[in-house]
Structure 1
């Protein structure tokens, strides 16, 4: 069984508390104990967490794998920019070979050096980006390289307790908490009770999907759906609004390829938008595209995601069209809430810094 098949099999098993999950429960108990001990250590020793002089907002998840964080990060950064903030983004840089020093950049970034998601975020927002598995190193390097940055958005890192934070946003999808168990008996990186203590919970739904049962906690809960807004021919840079592109190309045969956490979500979005797909190819998340997966497809149109596009330009395949999607939120006022909260937090941190004695 290859890695992709194994991952799919585990996600299937995690939908319920079946035999496989139950057999793995003892390991999950050990994992839960480790998670609780680690969190208690940081609670008793606040100095272990780096508290930045800038407001820090984390967009993460507790369900392992892709839930749709990247579109939320992009929407948040763009909303903050519209309010006059100068956000910088830090990320692990999954798939990139990052050395001892954090790597920073802005604009068009090489996904081999930064990771596909940070490269996409940098391209979509033009915000400066820093990557390193140790998020504090990424934050410090970002501040040094881009002193104009006045708020930090962390792409993932909810469980990275060494990084202090001021706001926490969790993104889940229609699977919610699955069978409710911690890895490996379930899909959760932390116990489901962790959701009671985050600021905002966003559920990323597929078209026609029913929202999961809401939490009893005071966490602000809303949903979102991704919708295609723009299409770009990767080889030429020709760009069209989705509606116009769909009208002019709907008679042509099309396929779709995606190397994201949940490829079926991308395919379902295209189908819901009125597109008929002859073939769909689901690749492993963060696939490096070492060779072209498009040679076996004969359709004149092949649709890919923005995350895949940052790695596919070198193929110079005129059939590739990038679908840029944006989230539609059931309650978009959460973005204004973040702006207002961060304004207060920034003021408080500035006042504390002014009171700190200078040696």
Structure 2
């Protein structure tokens, strides 16, 4: 650490990338300061306790990975439970299991054997005779046929992206997970669960004995913050870091409506997807089921996809050709930096699951400290 600077690292953002990096830097004897514009640490994994329930404030966060090292890493801070994600879909008052499996096919067609299900799907695909899918709709139809597409994919996808499936590129759906077993486990990963006591326990473990300042906007006093540390770890929007020099990167946003109900059990499942286009939200989350709660009341969250504007929270990067080209220009600037580390969903402009963000942060640590 140089004589004039108070910290080795200024970490901008207390989400998983920033928290993991700061924790690992501290383990190596480095002094870190974390700042965050929100009034809480943890980024999008933050939970708020309501009626004794850990409410995922920014949508459902279900930890899943095949990487034993990362699973052991998170469990070293907080024990994870055995929650398994088994969402159901509601279409025109009928329920269907997800991901598409033998339960789904029985609900759709009454078929009971894998061969019957395969024959049904194949006959539907062949009847369409789609040779070269030119958009998402044709791509999905060519993979799964019209019944599953119309009931379980079309409306949900159109709500997610805010446009018709015929206007979306085919590459968005490269494949669709289809299982010819009676297995409702959404993820194929070996390890899966929710931290016992919520994600705040994980973040608190990562940030133990690290200085964190909340409700601080880095960009309001950028030069002063930069002067405090030798190296900046930046987890915000990379285009904002460079003052939108090449234009704004685009995102999809989400709006969350949290409701407390005076019932013990609202929908019987943590996640229920609403796949009709006419229903404005994509899903309802009932948080207590993530931790097998038995509280007398319940909290549910309706999730509404939205067009992103600069006043809204950016959630999903739109990795189309235009945005990818713009991001590459910013990445070229970032690659030339000698005392700035960029990491996380916004700085890397890519969608990350939680285990991937942690893996990315640990990789950055090993490169940075040359281990």
TM-score > 0.5 by shorter chain: no
TM-score, normalization: structure 2?
0.26
Q: Which gives a bigger RCO, structure 1 or 2 (Cα 8 Å, sep 6+)?
A: 2
TM-score, normalization: structure 1?
0.27
